[in-house]
Amino acid sequence: MRYRRTIVAALVMAALAACAQDAPGPSERSPNSVYPPPPTAPALEAAALVVALDGDDAAEGTAAAPLRTIDAAAQRAQPGDTILVRAGSYEGDVSTAASGTESERITFVAESPDTRIVGVGGTDGAWENDGAYVDIVGFDITGPNEDGLYNRGSNVRLMKNRVHGISGNCIYVQNGDYSVTDVDVLSNVTFGCGDDKLDHGIYVTHQGGRVANNISYGNTGYGIQCWHACNSISIVNNLVFNNPEGGIVIGADDEEYDVGNALIANNIVVDNGREGIRESGESGSDNRFVNNLLWGNGRDAIQINGGEEAGTIVADPQFVNFATDGSGDYRVEPTSPAVDAGEPEVAPRFAFDRASRPQSGGFDVGPYEQ
């Protein structure tokens, strides 16, 4: 799918809803940990390792003597290191396995939205990560691979990436036995992914963590699917539209995995096929669906198997300029029913800002404080 030049923003539901202020969260972590301050591209001299198109994998990896590939940087990375990837188009599949620690994460950060990873289809994912305590921040990812950003590591944060034009899932979190835990998928834009209804914008299969403040549209399956070992996860503050199978689905296809204790709140789900939001298959009785806005979907109702629903809004969200192809302006008007209508426990501290460089065809997804 060719990327359309856009000016895109999402202002997800704000935080003043009184109806759910005392509702407990599904995780022991503070709700505001949904929004850790996303890393910004460091100064060249501040990065532990630098990657550039004119680099050499035999070089020192400094600003003056950068490496050529992210793979080479990952092989050298130590806990606490930041790997800065300079702007440019990097052709080739990426594979990272280095792990940080709880106190010293490893961070891969794009210098700018012009830092592109173009997979070649040699591996399942255009970027496959197996490391734990890793952040991947700010990359544009595409290619002919089966999946885009494919994570198998625990305690990982996938933030501010733009993943598109993939034949399978844009962002995929899964390992062989569904033992991945505590992965956060935050502030990404996923679109134009999938060959059939089993391919989704964001597909997670893990316990713990958050899927928050993402925009997912124009994918062949769901905008967001949480399946298999989908337990104690928050799916909050997302904008999901124009996905034929539906907006958001949570569940499992058998009783082998403990599924439930999830919070699905403050999502704006518009113009999708079938249900806007649904529980499906073997889903637990402790899922909570709170203060979501549905409009123009195949069915503007939440299909519940055993969870609890409160505060659902069925109304036009009043975007500044809604377009199903991603070319619109998805901020909401001051009169929108979404304003001051969200679950305050998990309300966003930042939103997608207006793209500042339309000439590059890129989203500016830098955060700002609300």
Q: Where are the domains of the chain?
A: 44-315
Containing 353, the helix (H) or strand (E) segment is none
**Tens-place pLDDT, residues 251-262:** 887 767 767 889
What pLDDT is recorded for position 258?
67
Neighbours of 313 (CB within 10 A): 18
Instruction: Please state the rounded mean pLDDT for residues 294-302.
Output: 96
* CA-closest candidate to residue 104, choices 139, 134, 62: 134
Statement: 44-315 belongs to CATH 3.40.250.10: no
Instruction: Detail the DSSP E strand segments found in 183-267.
Output: 184-186, 189-191, 202-204, 210-212, 215-217, 222-226, 234-236, 239-241, 246-252, 263-265
What pLDDT is recorded for position 199?
95
**Tens-place pLDDT, residues 55-75:** 999 999 999 999 999 999 999
What pLDDT is recorded for position 304?
87
Tell me the one-letter amino acid at 365.
Answer: V
pTM as predicted: 0.88
Question: What does pLDDT average to over the chain?
Answer: 85
- Looking at residue 74, the DSSP 8-state letter turns out to be H
